[in-house]
Structure 1
């Protein structure tokens, strides 16, 4: 019997070993599939157009600018939730609040005019740092001198108080920096990321502010709302210090002007790579007193901002084949030329374009200033919403805004910046008008508000592209400064009128007027600049 059972055991052992081998192979195959799947996912993410351009066309300077706008908008989000209530807690009436908001914006106009006009000669990084210091002083003043309206008014007029719109010189200077560090065809996506970080920061700020106030009151850490508001101003000051620290890492390139020679200025040379290399070596030898062997001008480890200012003008094939770096890909088929001409005069062509743009942008900004600062107040009074609910509402609104950033650039690539702006802003105006008309239902009114947030900022990228494409590279910073000044002046007037509108009990009609003015601005834009789209699309679709 033993002799008959042994073969059976041996067979079972072989079968077990075979099964173990099969299972081991299956597990190995599954692990390989999982690994391949993960690599495939990462590859797809990296090959995504928006992520790829973020990784390959943005350098340290641009990423610091992203961090700065994120923190700044987080600060503005904090103030957006409490600023009106801060003044109401101090027993100021709506007219006085409107005057305060207007005069602070007027101060921003003067500040922006001077700082953006001389930003190139004074260095853009220094202007950004100065603005951050002014924001810190402003926040400190609201904590210490809360009972002195005159001091608050003077300091806020000389400093910067934001409520979500990028007042002050920051936005213009940041956009100018990015325009000089980025080729035209990449600017829509670079600007889209900039605005995405801006929207996320504002969203977090709104949510944090509302939550902080309710937590401090519910846990009786503070017994008055005024103390809670001061605590938030303390957070505001702390964030300014973090932002100031980050700006210490700017490279010299952020202060330089670059002009990008576009692809049509180059004729593709069908010359073998070896001949191109020899030709480049001969040119290098003639232009140098030393007889060193040929070396690529760019270091493979150079960051894009440093590589942008090299004295290199070969055909694009040699850049790709010899260098293969982020900076060389960014400068593909183009030369980066340092601009040395410094003038205080704008060209006649630029002035003509600027006048038309100012009318449009100022109408849009007036519409914004007329109602935006009062939206939290409107929902608190109309629907008796708590601070936490208000913070959550506007946080969600900004998240929705952030989600429309890339669709905005997609529309710009498809139809051009002028048509893109007209389409999204017309829809935005309709939603804005609908908000008070639907106040019989909180759900309907909030839906209209979310629709407004989904479309209100979709014009940011198209307008940036329109402006930087139409204006000469050496005039971008000044022109953006003038546009910012005009927009702030118009918004200042809107804020002034809004105080009287609210005091008279006509806040709901402010939404209707604001939406109508916005629609008017869109009509003027499409009539004045519809032919520009073809030119801009040629730049955007370059390979």
Structure 2
């Protein structure tokens, strides 16, 4: 009986799917894990590092805004040409760029040099993904994994990445205390050590990219080769993650330009992608008001905790967040992607608005941990839902477009936080962010409930 329950649990959380996913999927997930260790480490100390250089909060916010603008431009342009030059080459080139970014931050203390590097390079103030990595990897997984297995792989992709970002925060905090206490490093030198770790991790990613095979590259759309479906075929009920709006023969057979800003989609699919992008953009703008760099800055200033303790805070919340994200797989299979997205994300949105209320560190920590329980459970369902909207040949461009909209929405947020922080009112950013995120959740439910997969079950 116990073996049956164990087997059931393993299947529910997608371990069977993961164990048979193939080498390319493993490398993609490993790349994300290593990369997010670096992102988690640098995002924890980015605002603190800039402040230690004597830069006012207003200019720290501007720095983050310009960083997001650089990410916006690079993500948009590179996602357009990724499938033409090759997904493997794109991952390799961006990993090299990430390595160079870390090296410059490890060497320079000049604000203008750091700003230019952040714009042209790959760095994250939020602790999440930047650059075209996410776009390329999402579309590659969708190409490598069958429809019905994608929710499992996306859940593990999210969980392991979130866990590693949390570990990166812990690593940064511990490293700073070690080099200061044992080797007499100054605060600026200790922060630079974190950027050198970022450089090392990026170099490892460069090597791993060399082992990816051509299987991740875009495949010709089978719709171009297979005969048109009959009316009877079109009346059959869709599976959980099959394409929600099938591409008609007329749309599929349109000639495609080699370089195009957006793929050729049916009008209905275009409308869905635009609506989804706007709602994701609202959520991203809210997130830009409370990125990990500003949250760590807020907690350190309010409670004056040491760096190692600060790292432990985000390790704990990240671990909890990553572990609970695995629960999104069975929820998505049973209730559908939209319902899972909304009812796991809404509690986290409300709790975010409550973060400034406690006057004690322990209560603030408690709110952050409880929030982390459902904070990322909507990520894998998002990937699944978006992947069902378009065909494989258009997926990279559509993912890229959506991610560009999300990045564009994040541009002004850090500057706003910088201004209100300089005036001693950073707590307002948490209230606004939580309210906007709750609005996004309600908007998703109202707009996309009819596309939920629950009817299939």
Does the aligned pair in 1 maintain the 2:24–2:212 contact within 8 Å?
Answer: yes
Match of 2:48 in 1: 85
Matches within 5 A, 1:510-529: 510-529=429-448
Does the aligned pair in 2 maintain the 1:116–1:173 contact within 8 Å?
Answer: yes
Match of 1:346 in 2: 264
CA separation in 2, counterparts of 1:133 and 1:462? 31
How many correspondences in the alignment? 423
Q: Please, what TM-score do these two structures have when normalized by structure 1? A: 0.74
Runs ≥4 residues deviating over 4 A: 39-49, 258-261, 339-342
**Cα deviation code 1:430-455 (max 9, x no counterpart):** 11011111x22322211111122222
CA separation in 2, counterparts of 1:49 and 1:218? 42
Does the aligned pair in 2 maintain the 1:180–1:259 contact within 8 Å?
Answer: no
1:101 equivalent in alignment to 2:20: no
Structure 2 unaligned residues grouped into runs of 5+: 224-228, 231-251
1:190 equivalent in alignment to 2:140: no
Q: Please, what TM-score do these two structures have when normalized by structure 2? A: 0.88
CA separation in 2, counterparts of 1:379 and 1:155? 27
Match of 1:112 in 2: 75
Match of 1:136 in 2: 99
Match of 2:385 in 1: 466
Matches within 5 A, 1:228-307: 228-257=190-219
Give how far 1:131 is off: 1.0
**Cα deviation code 1:147-183 (max 9, x no counterpart):** x211111121011102411121111110000001112
| C-alpha spacing 1:222/1:129, structure 2 compared with 1 (3 Å) | farther
**Cα deviation code 1:300-321 (max 9, x no counterpart):** xxxxxxxxxxxxxxxxxxxxxx
CA separation in 2, counterparts of 1:386 and 1:346? 53
Match of 1:374 in 2: 294
Give the counterpart of 2:18 among 28, 40, 54. 54
Give how far 1:194 is off: 0.5
Give how far 1:243 is off: 0.9
Give how far 1:41 is off: 10
**Greater C-alpha Rg:** 1
1:225 equivalent in alignment to 2:187: yes
1:436 equivalent in alignment to 2:398: no
| C-alpha spacing 1:45/1:519, structure 2 compared with 1 (3 Å) | closer
| C-alpha spacing 1:91/1:356, structure 2 compared with 1 (3 Å) | same
CA separation in 1, counterparts of 2:329 and 2:8? 20
Does the aligned pair in 1 maintain the 2:63–2:115 contact within 8 Å?
Answer: yes
Match of 2:319 in 1: 399
